[in-house]
């Protein structure tokens, strides 16, 4: 269900490299959630770092939404850069597996496979 890689890069460098890879593959980054900073700003002790990148390819998103508007709740895709016990990791929930739990539409499953292939390439390039 998950695709995760470890990298020798710093958290900040992996984040920068992921954003560049996303753009190179024709996707956009509508928002980045800096979960670590948000938690600490609320007074919560949190030692790790975590940035969640919302990534979207408008053409693919339109295909999904035109087939089943309810799937807006699964969009956009998310790729995370985070630290865990001193290691920097980059990962995502595989879109094809997630979508197959939500829809059996063959066309949508194919879109999810295409998106999964691209997002995994992005993660691997950022590694």
Per the structure, the complete domain to which residue 45 belongs is given by: 2-126
The tens digit of pLDDT for each residue in 86-115 reads 999 999 999 998 888 898 888 898 999 999
E strand or H helix that includes residue 118: helix 106-126
pTM, rounded to two decimals? 0.93
The tens digit of pLDDT for each residue in 19-31 reads 999 999 999 999 9
> How many CA atoms lie less than 13 Å away from 68 in the CB half-sphere?
15
Task: Identify the three-state secondary structure at position 99.
Answer: helix
Q: 88 forms bridges with which residues in the sheet? A: 7, 83
In the chain, how many domains are there? 1
Distance from chain centroid for Cα 109: 18
CATH at 13: 3.30.310.70
The tens digit of pLDDT for each residue in 45-97 reads 999 999 999 999 999 999 999 999 999 999 999 999 999 999 999 999 999 98
Report the C-alpha gap between 48 and 8 in whole angstroms: 16
């Amino acid at each position: 269900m998950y695709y995760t890689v470890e990298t020798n890069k710093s958290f900040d460098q992996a984040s920068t490299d992921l954003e560049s890879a996303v753009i190179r593959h024709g996707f956009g980054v509508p928002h980045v959630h800096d979960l670590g900073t948000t938690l600490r700003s609320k007074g919560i002790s949190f030692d790790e770092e975590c940035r969640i990148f919302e990534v979207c390819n408008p053409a693919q998103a339109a295909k999904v939404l035109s087939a089943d508007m309810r799937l807006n709740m699964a969009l956009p895709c998310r790729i995370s850069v985070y630290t865990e016990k001193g290691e920097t990791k980059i990962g995502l929930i595989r879109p094809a597996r997630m979508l197959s739990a939500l829809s059996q539409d063959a066309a949508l499953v194919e879109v999810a496979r295409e998106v999964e292939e691209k997002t995994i390439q992005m993660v691997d390039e950022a590694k």
